[in-house]
Amino acid sequence: MQNPTEQAEAVKFTGPGNLPAAYKYLLIRMLSIQSRIESEYMLMPERTLLKPLALAPTPEDKAEYAAFWSDEVRHASYWMHLLGDLGVSVDDAFMATPMPIYIFEMRDQAQDWIEYGLFSFFADRQGAYMGYEWVGCSYQPLAKIAERVYREELGHAAFGYRLMRRHLEREGERGRALLIKHLAKWYPAGLDMFGKSGSKRQFDYVRMGLRRRSNEQMRAEFEAEVNNLLTKLEIPIPDPTAGRLYL
């Protein structure tokens, strides 16, 4: 029996013309999730740029975050262009739809700088995991930009780790206690970013060549990577089932 998480020999599509209806539906859905998340960097700078810059404690932090934000604005332009070719406009109505992954709502509720570090540590790492899924995917306009997105999101995730390390160095035991407190809500949200393990749609994505791995495969690899990095910081690993919405 074929492993459902193995990519079939998917047909390669060079552009938006003559896409099969089921394939086009999944492609638009996937790109819409990504665009709804990242277009906020371009369209809502008061929330995605000005607020975190005001909380950043050092010039180094501010400069790194501004560079990070610029990358995300460019990513937003990719999704807008890809969706525009497919007949979808990233307009006010599009941006008024609910945020598809709740960790991004948590970003906007962040009360201190270390929470932005946790956001990058988790959410941008998941962005890198998704970028990797699209390298060599069946929709060639997406495949062309996937390597750059993947590499830049890895850099953003590394920024989150550096920010957490700087926080611990600067704030000592008080900072460690605050990080552990915040981690209790960010850790389950990070694992939940990959959705439900039993979702049928995930296997449709794999079968059509738009993804490589199942939700559970990505979550397991992500959890192992995150746990290893937290251990390096000498931060205790939270219970992976506590506070979870998608198991």
Tell me if residue 103 falls in helix, strand or coil: helix
Q: What confidence tens digit (pLDDT) does each residue in 89-118 have? A: 999 999 999 999 999 999 999 999 999 999
Number of domains into which the chain is organized: 1
Residue 241 lies in a domain: no
Q: Is residue 122 part of a domain?
A: yes
Average pLDDT over residues 161-176: 95
**Burial (CB count within 10 angstroms: exposed 0-12, middle 13-18, buried 19+), residue 149:** buried
- Is residue 247 included in any domain, yes or no? no
Q: Is the pLDDT of residue 7 over 60?
A: no
Helix/strand/coil for 131? helix
Q: Indicate whether 13 belongs to any domain.
A: no
Q: What is the pTM of this model?
A: 0.93
pLDDT tier at 1 (50, 70, 90 boundaries)? Answer: very low
Residue 4 is assigned to a structural domain of this protein: no
The pLDDT tens digits of the residues spanning 133-168 come to 999 999 999 999 999 999 999 999 999 999 999 999
| Residues in Cβ contact with 141 at an 8 Å cutoff, skipping those fewer than 6 apart | 14, 15, 16, 82, 85
Has residue 211 been placed in a domain?
yes
Range of the structural domain that residue 154 is part of: 21-232
Any domain includes 3 = no
